[in-house]
Amino acid sequence: MKEIEPIENEIVVAIGDATATFDLRDSSGKLVKAERIHKLTLINIDAFYAKVINTADALV
């Protein structure tokens, strides 16, 4: 995978409460609830790709 150079003074934002997901099955067939998938996905986005904020903070 090509390394992406950071852009100085730019922030990528994801609006966490404006996104959704759905229940999925893992590789063993166990059902994983949408709430858990959503929470873990936002944690990963916030850790590696963008700052996760809520809608109220985005509208300020």
The pLDDT mean for the chain works out to 90
pLDDT at 1: 60
Residue 10 pLDDT greater than 80, yes or no: no
pLDDT at 14: 94
The full DSSP string for 1-60 is: -PPPPPPTT---EEEGGG-----EE-TTS-EE-HHHHHHHHHHHHHHHT-EEE-HHHHT-
Global confidence as pTM: 0.76
Residue 4 pLDDT greater than 90, yes or no: no
Residue (of 24, 4, 20) closest to 12 by Cα position: 4
